[in-house]
Amino acid sequence: MRAVDIAILGAGAVGQLICRQLIAAGEHVGFIARHPHGSVSQQNSQAQQYSQSQPLSFTPLVASEANNSPQPIDYCVPIVATNALDHLRLVVVCVKAYQVIDALLPLLNQLPRQCHILLLHNGMGPHLAIAPLIEKVDNRGLSLGTTSQGVLRQARWQIKHTGKGLTQLGHFTGTELAEHYRNAILTAIPNSEWVNAIVPCLWQKLAVNAAINPLTALHQCPNGALAKADFNEIIKGILDELVMVAAQDGVPLDKPLLHDRIYQVIQLTAANFSSMHQDVAHQRQTEIDQINGYICERAQAHGLTAPINAKLCEQIKLLAVTA
């Protein structure tokens, strides 16, 4: 039996979706078990006990021809112990942005040198901390990605695919991902593409998140409410600061195009509630530091300020404390 050679780090909604898509494409995939000290995932207050395999339930986006509505598919995923990582050649990191460092650091010395790492999370920032650590290990490869696929976690091990979305992946540093694994992940994930310059793509996704996430959380509203004229000025201000900072980082962005993209997402997801809205509503830690906070961090690195984004960070953190 062929050993698992692709592992998912982070068994949240996105991690389970990517895992299911890879398995459906015939790949040998497993989840990396929780770190014994609980640092890989702390989404639940009680530690999840892993066995050698984990049963999951997946409801596809499209119904089969035999059914009028999509039916759940039950399947099992192997669990890879942290002391048995020798066969891994690709690790896809799907934890929350603020968990990436703590989740990955304990594993770096246990992963084989030829194992490539792909970060697939909202926001930006962890790649700058991880890259120098990756490069120390025989120039190990690091790729980055972003996905807009819709997925709803209905229970701990039960998800529903709710939207296609675009997935963009690309090389960042070190040894490039082997062609076999690059083709495997592009084949498995619908509407996915490998891009030559991934960082600008991440900035574009960041612009959407920076506008929609904090405003919907602060005003306790669905995405569609941001189409009102009341929000025009602050969305413009968020975008102005982001474009300015990205330019200082050597990433020129098309401001009118980004503006249109933000409002297109607002329209297409009008009835949805953003992840930050849901995090605040459920009193969970948010990714504000890796979204609007990243804009402020990069502004500071260039001796600049981003007061509108800084104010949003302050407001979200205060809201999270008082929720």
Bridge partners for 53 per DSSP:
78
Catalytic member of 96, 136, 205, 228: 205
Helix (H) or strand (E) holding 179: helix 179-188
- The secondary structure element, H or E, covering residue 119 is strand 116-120
CA 217 to the chain's CA centroid: 19
Q: How far is CA 272 from CA 7, 106, 238, 290, in A?
A: 30, 36, 21, 21
Q: Does 205 qualify as catalytic in the annotation?
A: yes
**CA-based nearest residue to 97, from 122, 129, 119:** 122
- Alpha carbon dihedral 216, 220, 223, 227, in 10-degree steps, equals -80
**End-to-end distance of the chain based on CA atoms, in angstroms?**
50
How far apart are the C-alpha atoms of 108 and 185, rounded to whole Å?
22
> How far is the C-alpha of 265 from the C-alpha of 271, rounded, in Å?
11
Of residues 185, 211, 246, 178, the one with CA closest to residue 22: 185
For every residue of 12-75, DSSP letters joined together read SHHHHHHHHHHHHTT--EEEEPPPTTS-S--SSSSPPPP-SEEEEEEE-SS--TT-SS---EEE
Measured distance CA(253)–CA(11) in Å, rounded:
33
The residues that are catalytic are 205
